[in-house]
Chain A
């Protein structure tokens, strides 16, 4: 194998990068041992915040989560627009009412989301982790609050080391109070998707929350406080299963924030050269450690790809700002794939097998979902044929079959269901009249069908049971069943 990297030799110095030993034709990355790369274990990570493109992008994407907080207050036709009413087993999504019968669509939503996660990860690395995940976003907001109250990282570290005083206590109290408030809002908003939000607020001030509501809000509030305020990046490193799964979804063609070793090494601080001495040959990395200082998980990107890295791009902002000052080209740390560093050309997105497979599964899931949503009838009919006896000989020479017809009203208005049967011309039927069904309820009625024995040419005769809503004749469903008779010889 002739590889351009084989001819390049570098003194990697203290980085110990594994990129050197990389075989770019092995897409499994199994020769990158993640366990040899260090993670931050030295106490709380106090990351520096500096402005930049990725910083702005992170805020923009994080603001999408505001929809989560606004969601419960949207109204639609006099009810909450997004209400997952578990008690009456109805999900309201704007005009759509989803009953347990339609819950299969949830599996498609989950399938679509998991494939989206896989596809985005294989193309752009841990995009979810870096920009969208609630753990990342909430931690970002919590540390932003911390910075506003306690100051820059060096001030925070100083405050942490200082002995307890009234001043320190007040500062800490302020921070934890804001954190707890954010946690409470998170838990409250979550619960507000399951019960009416205005009712929930009013019952809060009357101290009328049920034990369940109080428990869930308190639990989620404290969990938010604990995970986003206290545990932070350790959640991503030690708790989150997806972090590890996504590591396995990355291959050599995946674009990730990567340190350009060839350009950066050997790193070193710029020193004035004394007369007579030869200037050391240094790479572009001046070893300022700003990329480490801004990292929310406290990793050193220069070690190469590692599982502590959530690919948030903040180190790119930091490095670019330094390169700008040094008047060197930006992109010493940049979004690039290992294949690019190896001098290979990346195939187009739609030519990568994984993108094609993930994409087609997503397409199928989305298509089926759309079909399901468009064809979701507001009526559901099941007709259960009586099995004992399958048929009865009547005194007028007819054969009678019996069905229990169950009608689900999936609409929002009361239903007047009329049940009819059709089949051979001389078929007659009898029901107990019109069935009144409230929205979201099930009604059942017995249907007796008679067919003269002489008409039956087979032991089984197909018939159609039709249920029409008399309040709205456009709502109907036809159910195919078989009329069973004696064997005809």
Chain B
């Protein structure tokens, strides 16, 4: 290539293609070189100022720099600013939440929507594991968005439930534990008919007798509707605590809810425990009120 260079004096590198396409060896512009060297000098100050040089692999140590700057510190500083701002901005609302009884909070639309808006993350952290996001419920855990309440749907009752927790209780095989398999089968047909409004049909007469014999009405009421919210399910509505298919109904009647022998749950019994949250929640006195308002607003509060 170079031996046949028609442009020997223009400072090309001797690389010539296609007869006249050639690579020149021009220096970069002065301003460019100056900023290039300035970059080198910058490195020294950068290394002094910021964490830069890893020291040993084993300890993970590194030079900290003059200011001890780190991304996580900067993030935490920024986050603190945001948190302080938020705390200051909503200080009066938080004070009201702490001072007012929960029923008053519910009446004040402004305060209510504030409580709901600030509960979403809290509900996600502490409640949604069982009740699902939005209180949609999952198999075996109650739906909170409907209007069927085992322990009462008033705001005070919801607050009490969150504060102290609830333990479900239903004896296996009737109050006395003496129902036979046939009787259980009959009474299962009867309660399913109750929910469908067909309980007076003569076909369920046998089940109706078992309902009386097993003293089911003691908790569930004579017509399937409990007298008071004591944790007993309403058998006359279309909502089933543990499932509406016949096998599940038979199983619940046979094994009860939270039935224990020698302090241990018997096999097949339903475990239905809502823990107390007064110790579990941070800042519980305010946060329980907040969550009670949130749950009440999910769709079925009374």
A contact residues, range: 10 to 19
Question: B229 on the interface (CB 8 Å rule)?
Answer: no
B297–A396 contact, CB under 8 A?
no
Question: A387 on the interface (CB 8 Å rule)?
Answer: yes
Neighbouring B residues of A397 by C-beta, 8 Å: 237-238
A348 to B112, CA, bound (A): 69
B238–A392 contact, CB under 8 A?
no
With A386-B134, A387-B134 as contacts: A448 and B148 at CB distance below 8 Å: no
A446–B134 contact, CB under 8 A?
no
- Shortest Cβ gap from A343 to chain B (Å): 41
Q: Which of A371-395 contact B (CB under 8 A)?
A: 386-389, 392-395
Q: Which of B93-148 contact A (CB under 8 A)?
A: 109, 112-113, 132-137, 143, 145-148
B contact residues, range: 20 to 34
Q: Which of B273-294 contact A (CB under 8 A)?
A: none
- Shortest Cβ gap from B220 to chain A (Å): 14
Neighbouring A residues of B239 by C-beta, 8 Å: 393-395
Question: B168 on the interface (CB 8 Å rule)?
Answer: no
Considering the complex, give the chain A residue whose CB is closest to the CB of B240: A393
Considering the complex, give the chain B residue whose CB is closest to the CB of A396: B237
B234–A392 contact, CB under 8 A?
no
Instruction: Return the contact of A389 from the options B113, B136, B238, B297 (Cβ within 8 A).
Output: B136
Question: A151 on the interface (CB 8 Å rule)?
Answer: no
Question: B300 on the interface (CB 8 Å rule)?
Answer: yes
B136–A432 contact, CB under 8 A?
no
Question: B299 on the interface (CB 8 Å rule)?
Answer: yes
Question: A433 on the interface (CB 8 Å rule)?
Answer: yes
B133–A448 contact, CB under 8 A?
no
Residues 20-35 of chain A, each 1 if its beta carbon lies under 8 Å from chain B, else 0: 0000000000000000
Q: Which of B135-191 contact A (CB under 8 A)?
A: 135-137, 143, 145-148
Considering the complex, give the chain B residue whose CB is closest to the CB of A401: B299
A395–B134 contact, CB under 8 A?
no
A394–B132 contact, CB under 8 A?
no
With A386-B134, A388-B133 as contacts: A400 and B299 at CB distance below 8 Å: yes
B146–A392 contact, CB under 8 A?
yes
With A388-B132, A392-B145, A392-B146 as contacts: A433 and B299 at CB distance below 8 Å: no
- Shortest Cβ gap from A386 to chain B (Å): 6
Considering the complex, give the chain A residue whose CB is closest to the CB of B112: A432
- Shortest Cβ gap from A442 to chain B (Å): 12
A395–B234 contact, CB under 8 A?
yes
Considering the complex, give the chain B residue whose CB is closest to the CB of A386: B134
Considering the complex, give the chain B residue whose CB is closest to the CB of A402: B299
B132–A432 contact, CB under 8 A?
no
Considering the complex, give the chain A residue whose CB is closest to the CB of B109: A432
Residues of chain A touching chain B, judged by Cβ–Cβ distance below 8 Å, are 386-389, 392-397, 400, 402, 432-433, 444, 446, 448, 453
Residues of chain B touching chain A, judged by Cβ–Cβ distance below 8 Å, are 109, 112-113, 132-137, 143, 145-148, 234, 237-239, 297-300
What are 22 inter-chain pairs, A to B, with CB distance below 8 A? A388-B134, A389-B132, A389-B134, A389-B135, A389-B137, A392-B143, A392-B145, A392-B299, A393-B143, A393-B238, A394-B300, A395-B146, A395-B147, A395-B238, A396-B237, A400-B146, A400-B300, A402-B298, A402-B299, A432-B109, A432-B112, A453-B238
